[in-house]
Amino acid sequence: MSSVQTNSGLIAGPTSRAFAMVGGTPLLWRLASLAIFCAVWEIAGRTNFNWAFPTFFETMAALWSMLADGSMIMAYGRTLEPLVIGLVISLSIGVGAGVLMGLRRDAEWITLPIFITMQAAPMAALIPLITFVYGIGLTAKVLAVCMLAMPVIAINSYKAVRNVPPSLVDMSQSFMGSRSQQVFKVILPAASPMMFAGIRLGVAEGFSGVVLAELLITPTGIGDLITFNRSIAKFDHMYAAIFSIVAFAVIAVSLLHRLEITIFRPEKRGA
Partner 1 sequence: MELYGFKVPRFTALLFWAALWEFVGQFELLLLFPPLSEVLMALPDVLTTPSFGEAARLTVASYLGGLTLAIVIGVGLGMLMGLVKAADNLLNMWVNIFLSAPLSALVPVIMILFGMGMPTVVVTVFMFAVWIIALDTRAGVLHVSPSLMEMSRSFGASRVARFRIILWSAMPEILAGVRLGVIRGVKGVVIGQLLVSIIGVGALFSLYSQNFLMAHFWALILILFAFALTLADLIARLETRIEYYAGARA
Partner 2 sequence: MNMNTAINIQEQAATDAIIEVRGVHKVYGETVTALQDINLDFNRGELTSLLGPSGCGKTTLLKIIAGLLKPTSGEVRVNGRPVTGPGPERAFVFQDFALMPWATVVRNAAFGLELQGVAKAEREARARHYVEEVGLAGFEDKYPHELSGGMRQRVGLARALAVDADVLLMDEPFSAVDEQTRRKFQEDLIRLREVENKTFILVTHSIEESVYLSDRIIMLSPRPGRLNRIVTPEIDRSGDPDLIRRNPEYLDLIDEIWTGLRAYVE
Residues that bind partner 1 (CB under 8 A): 14-15, 17-19, 21-22, 25-26, 29-30, 32-34, 36-37, 50, 52-53, 105-106, 108-110, 112-114, 117, 119-134, 200-201, 204, 207-208, 210-212, 215-216, 222, 226-227, 230, 235, 238-239, 242, 245-246, 249-250, 253
Q: Return the axis-axis angle of helices 71-103 and 221-231, rounded to nearest 10°.
A: 130
Does the protein bind partner 2 through residue 215 (CB under 8 A)?
no
Q: Is 258 in the site for partner 2 (CB under 8 A)?
A: no
Backbone angles phi, psi at 32, to 5 degrees: -60, -45
Question: In this complex, which beta carbon is closest to partner 2, that of residue 47 or of residue 180?
Answer: 180
Nearer to partner 2, 111 or 173 (CB): 173
Which partner in partner 1, partner 2, none is near 246 (CB below 5 to 8 A by kind)? partner 1
**Chain mean position to CA 60:** 25
| Distance (Å, whole) CA 211 – CA 86 | 13
Q: Given the complex with partner 1, which of 147 and 188 has the nearer CB atom?
A: 147
Asked if residue 172 binds partner 2 (CB under 8 A), the reply is yes
Distance CA 164, CA 158 (A): 10
Q: Does 167 bind partner 2 (CB under 8 A)?
A: yes
Among 181, 208, 218, 254, binds partner 2 (CB under 8 A): 181
Q: Closer to partner 1 by CB, 13 or 177: give it.
A: 13
Q: Which does 204 bind (CB under 5 to 8 A by kind): partner 2, partner 1, none?
A: partner 1
CA 96, CA 43: separation in Å to the nearest integer? 49
Do the beta carbons of residue 228 and residue 219 sit within 8 Å?
yes
C-alpha closest to that of 245 among 218, 214, 201: 214
Separation between Cα atoms, residue 265 and residue 259, nearest integer Å: 9
- Using only C-alpha atoms, the chain has a radius of gyration, in whole angstroms, of 22
The per-residue DSSP string of 35-92 comes to HHHHHHHHHHHHTTSSTT---HHHHHHHHHHHHHTSHHHHHHHHHHHHHHHHHHHHHH
Q: Which is nearer to partner 2, 26 or 270 (CB)?
A: 270
Residue number with CB closer to partner 2 (139 or 172): 172
- Give the binding range for partner 2 (CB under 8 A) out of 117-125, 178-186, 217-225, 241-249: 178-186
In whole angstroms, give the CA distance from residue 58 to residue 63.
9
Under the rule (CB under 8 A), what is the footprint of partner 2? Answer: 1, 3-4, 165, 167-168, 170-178, 181, 185-186, 189-190, 192, 264-267, 271
